[in-house]
Amino acid sequence: MNTHATGTFDVTGWNDLATEEKQGATFGRAQITKTFQGDLTGTSTTEILTVGTPDGPAAYVGVEHFEGALHGRKGTFVLQHSAASHNGEQWMKWQIVPATGTGELTGLTGEGAIRVEDGHHYTLGYTLPEA
């Protein structure tokens, strides 16, 4: 079944694990916890690698483990993140890592985006085998 999920999430924890200054850039590693509302309900833990510059443009990549329900179907899956910003424009994409779905989410695939505007909003277009 092809469908879309939308909703919001709250960042419930941020733990900086490492920072390294390089010429022209600062590299970091952090662990983030989130709580999801909307079509996704549950919690997640994300590890991200970040880069920032003195002028502000930044980027990150990450891997997120979600546990909860997607449109009422319970299980877990992993999301791969990529994001960047430049000249005030930002984009944040995520993709479901194939073969990571468990429980009622086995076989889940898809991709989506995150938008930060009055909180964190997500969209996720996905395919899930019929139950």
Q: Say if residue 45's pLDDT is above 90.
A: yes
pTM of this prediction? Answer: 0.91
Q: Which CATH architecture has domain 2-127?
A: Beta Barrel (2.40)
pLDDT tens per residue across span 47-90: 999 999 988 778 999 999 999 999 999 999 999 999 998 887 88
What is the reported pLDDT for 120?
95
| SS3 state at 103 | helix
Instruction: Give 7 or 90, the one with higher predicted confidence.
Output: 7
Q: How confident is the model at residue 2 (pLDDT cuts 50, 70, 90)?
A: low
Q: Which of 34-43, 50-59, 114-123 has the lowest mean pLDDT?
A: 50-59
What long-range pairs does 66-70 form, CB within 8 A, spacing at least 24? Answer: 66/36, 66/40, 66/42, 67/42, 67/43, 68/36, 68/40, 68/41, 68/42, 68/43, 69/40, 69/41, 69/42, 70/5, 70/39, 70/40, 70/105, 70/108, 70/124, 70/126, 70/128
Domain assignments of the chain as residue spans, ordered by start: 2-127
Kindly give, in sequence order, each residue whose CB lies less than 8 Å from that of residue 13, ignoring residues fewer than 6 positions away. Answer: 31, 32, 33
What is the reported pLDDT for 25?
94
